[in-house]
Amino acid sequence: MSIARQVPDILSPAFAADPYPAYRLMRDTAPLIWHEATRSYLISRYEDVERVFKDRNGEFTTDNYDWQIEPVHGRTILQLNGREHAVRRALVAPAFRGSDLREKFLPVIERNSRELIDVFRDSGSADLVDDYATRFPVNVIADMLGLDKADHARFHRWYTSVIAFLGNLSGDPEVAAAGERTRVEFAAYMLPVIRERRENPGDDLLSTLCAAEVDGVRMSDEDIKAFCSLLLAAGGETTDKAVAGVFANLLRHPDQLAAVRADRGLIPRAFAETLRYTPPVHMIMRQSATEVTLSGGTIPAGATVTCLIGAANRDESRYRDPDRFDIFRDDLTTTTAFSAAADHVAFALGRHFCVGALLAKAEVETGVGQLLDAMPDMRLADGFEPVEEGVFTRGPRRLPVRFTPVPAT
């Protein structure tokens, strides 16, 4: 207990400024900590986080989402288990992989990226966060669903409110109230659109969800609304921070940026290493179904477990020189990095592995490639050093760059 008290609290300013030294101290000396403020057990070692996510023995559930997610989204696929989860996942998953992703949605991704870049292409400067990353995934999701991109500001406000609710580790009542208001506002916006799309289906993801059927099961209006809310928040926030994170890491490592410029086939490596080194989501919770013994001790049944992704992804027992960004490392398998068999934990693992991982991969590969084409000599603005912010989700708030404009092709 005395050692645990030496670890900076996850709600402290010191932790928020730089959590990685605290993560190392936890892994080394206190891999299981009871955290009173969040009423949860913190785990930090790769082997423990991997075990919780894969959950081969039915030791953990996602019942925590009943209070962590349902108040802002409604009941989502994340809360389901067994056959109910398998059927719901089968209803939504086809749109995020294979031919649907390549043929229907890759052109949407490419067009939205190009439209955003065209705004600043000739200016010689841009903020990759404000001008691109915060807008790109939200625009893609709105286009995929067949929603009006003119409502971007509203979508962005909603998903920002939802992410704040999920990361409200200190229990701020104003943040909680804002998140619950967002659920009401999003339902008022979305349910009429869903009903209209059932009557007049189009060639968009929302229409596909309205018509999808597996084993005689179809999604209700409320199911679809909750999934769209989840997609907007999770897909927006994580891809936003992933795009910014890839460039922040590459700009701080010019030799690796040069390698990616010369060989765009390295973009998946840069993305996979960013997911390991600076993951967009640093914490995911689970609930223990039984008493479980992990490397740091025993967790009682019915407890909330906070899996520290940012700590597990830098575990020196799993990765060589884990505090070094290296797109060429041989202990991270790029071919499986965007699947349930990944050897990082940024997308979770097992049956609740992120259903949108391949969509995120397509967005990042497209966005990074197009940005490098438009800004072949991209460099950080003079005197600027990227700084990560956030505890639950984390990434650069600003990323100003300079470049020599080149004609569009």
CA 186 – CA 140 distance, rounded (Å): 18
Helix (H) and strand (E) counts in the chain: 19, 14
Q: Which residues of the chain have pLDDT under 70?
A: 1-5
Q: What is the pLDDT of residue 4?
A: 57
For 34-85, what is each residue's pLDDT tens digit? 999 999 999 999 999 999 999 989 999 999 988 888 898 888 777 777 777 7
Q: What is the pLDDT of residue 153?
A: 86
For 314-348, what is each residue's pLDDT tens digit? 999 999 999 999 999 999 999 889 888 899 999 98
**Amino acid at the residue 273:** E
Kindly list the distances between the CA atom of residue 367 and the CA atoms of 137, 204, 231, 246, 355, in Å, as whole numbers in the listed order: 10, 22, 19, 11, 20
Residue listed under structure tokens 């894969």 = 54
Q: CB–CB of 256/227 below 8 Å? A: no
- Whether the model clears a pTM of 0.85, i.e. scores above it, the answer is yes
Domain 30-402, CATH among 1.10.630.10, 3.40.50.300, 3.40.640.10, 1.10.1740.10: 1.10.630.10
Residue 144, Ramachandran bin (φ over 0: left; ψ between -120 and 50: alpha; else beta)? alpha
Q: CB–CB of 386/399 below 8 Å? A: yes
HSE-CB at 369 with a 13 A cutoff on CA atoms is 14
Q: What is the pLDDT of residue 1?
A: 39
CA-based end-to-end distance of the chain:
61
CA 145 – CA 139 distance, rounded (Å): 10
Query: Which residue, among 146, 280, 273, 281, has the nearest Cα to 206 in the 3D structure?
Result: 146
Q: What is the pLDDT of residue 311?
A: 98
Domain ranges of the chain: 30-402
Q: What is the pLDDT of residue 156?
A: 87
Is the four-CA dihedral 222, 236, 163, 9 of positive or negative sign?
positive
Sheet order of strands, 125-127 included: 125-127, 400-402, 379-380
Interaxial angle between packed helices 106-120 and 136-145, expressed in degrees from 0 to 180 and rounded to the nearest 10: 140
> Which distant-in-sequence residues (6+ apart) come within 8 Å of 319 by Cβ?
276, 313, 329, 331, 332
CA 175 – CA 34 distance, rounded (Å): 24
CA 156 – CA 135 distance, rounded (Å): 8
Is the four-CA dihedral 330, 331, 332, 334 of positive or negative sign?
positive
How many C-beta neighbours within 10 Å does residue 218 have?
A: 13
